Structure 1
Amino acid sequence: MPATPAWPPKSAPRLFVAQALHESGQVVIDGPQAHYLSRVMRVAAGDVVILCDNVTGEWAARVGDAGKREVVLEVSAILRPREAVPDLWLCPALLKKDRFDLVLEKATELGAARIQPVITRRCVADKLNRERAVAHTIEAAEQCARTALPDLAEPVKLAALLATWPAERALFFADENGGEPAAAAFAAYTGPAAILIGPEGGFDEGERAAIRALPAARPISLGPRILRGETAAIAALAVWMAARGDW
């Protein structure tokens, strides 16, 4: 007897949409998403598309009509509620465009709740194309089947970040001058937290002193080697998720 096909199919395309979803609702997809569904995925009437709204969760929808400029979807059933993610912020210093794209992508895949870009004195970039950055996080969430998008904040200067830092949230910062091993520090802590990662040239002495003066700051070490900014961000997130996260 043949096996019953999985429903919805694992190959069904996944999209985040702006409108809140509900059973028997209708969603009209246009623009680049419509091009993706009709021209790339070649969906046809009756095919299944997985939708997420970053509010209620993940839904199955069937294609009602697939045109060249828009695709009409009929929402049929909720598959999963919006997931709960660990209360962890990633505060990475801005990097060159392609390297920061990687940070955004991997932070989304690894489950960061919030991404707060930081501008430090040694940053080679001081601006972020927000529309492009949001698109990267959405694409990463669609690919890894995440149902909750990370909150992507506007870049802030390090001094402003420290001046407004919430006292109840620990700020673990990767200090090339040394600190407690990251795995041990993360495993021993149980409250809300954030991880601060410096730029390619690291924090300067004034910045390091300002960070250490913050009562919530906790210096950590990511090992004996000097890591690139994007590598440090990904490694620290992975260690956190293994020690305290949803792995």
Structure 2
Amino acid sequence: MSSQPRLYIKADLKPDAEVRLDDEASKYLLRVMRLSQGDKVRVFNGRDGEWLAELAAPEGKQAILMPVEQMRPQTGTEAPPLTLLFAPVKKSETDFIVEKATELGVQTIQPVVTQFTQTRTVRLDRFNKIALEAAEQTERLDLPDIHELTGLDKALDALPSGTVVIFCDEAGDEEGKPWGGEIGRARSAASVIGSLKGQPAAILIGPEGGFSPEERAHLRSREGTQPVSLGPRILRAETAVVSALTLWQAICGDWSEA
């Protein structure tokens, strides 16, 4: 892996087209990394691929980059698009979810409000910063689209036509038994996901405490929704996100062989 700094920028990238960095990026290159005129930086903007750029003479505290050559074209993955729908949890755990979803190649991140959601405010600016840093560190060429918190039904209705909802549902149907007993439990996630190759998907993860009986019944009756189980243990929300995304990428996504 290259030791050169790697930055996401918003400006267009083309040969010798001057790019003036904002205060934060300038401070990072000039004061934290202590780069000087002539040093190289890798940059990407989600549109023009990845470029090698050279640091020009700074103007005061502002760093200026000059793109030199394209290192990687902006190629998309052949895997179908993947959306993450999740109910926000505690701050650090929610930050972890956004970071790992970016690392694992999610194209759209949609926080949702469910009946048992305890955290009902999110900071989109913070999510975008976390995703940006994760993309820079993991060689990703784009950033995920991160949407404002919205109700579950509204988020489901907004999914592109043909999107299969992979509903991570650990409950059974036996009232009064711990976590619903064993009757009515969903099929294993691996077996269900294996039947969805080539289809755009949205993975749905609930909050601490899971989904209400009404939500669960609605989701199970919804056309295009596939309930799945992530195993015999009840996972924390952030663990469930990583587990489900890993399975999907390994079976249907850009980790799979076909």
TM-score by length of 2: 0.89
Residue 55 of structure 1 contacts residue 82 of structure 1 at CA under 8 Å; is this kept in 2? yes
**Hey, what does 2:192 align to over in structure 1?**
185
CA drift of 1:63 comes to: 0.6
**Hey, what does 2:105 align to over in structure 1?**
111
Aligned to 1:102, which of 96, 103, 121?
96
- What SS class does the counterpart of residue 70 from structure 2 fall into? strand
CA separation of 1:164/1:141 partners in 2, compared to 1, >3 Å: closer, same or farther?
closer
- What SS class does the counterpart of residue 145 from structure 1 fall into? coil
**Hey, what does 1:49 align to over in structure 2?**
41
CA drift of 1:205 comes to: 0.4
Higher relative strand content:
1
Query: 1:39 and 2:31 equivalent?
Result: yes
**Hey, what does 1:147 align to over in structure 2?**
141
TM-score by length of 1: 0.93
Aligned counterparts, 1:1-247, within 5 A: 10-66=2-58, 69-85=61-77, 86=79, 87-177=81-171, 178-190=185-197, 191-247=199-255
- What SS class does the counterpart of residue 89 from structure 2 fall into? coil
Which amino acid in 1 is paired with 2:194? A
Distance 2:202 2:186 in 1: 16
CA drift of 1:164 comes to: 4.1
CA drift of 1:132 comes to: 0.9
CA drift of 1:66 comes to: 3.6
- What SS class does the counterpart of residue 135 from structure 1 fall into? helix
CA drift of 1:112 comes to: 0.7
Distance 2:164 2:190 in 1: 15
Render the CA deviation track for 1:110-134: whole Å, top value 9, x for unaligned: 1111111111111111111111110
Distance 1:40 1:68 in 2: 16
Residue-pair matches, total: 239
CA drift of 1:175 comes to: 0.2
CA drift of 1:209 comes to: 1.1
**Hey, what does 1:3 align to over in structure 2?**
none
Distance 1:216 1:163 in 2: 12
| Regions of 4+ moved over 3 Å | 162-167
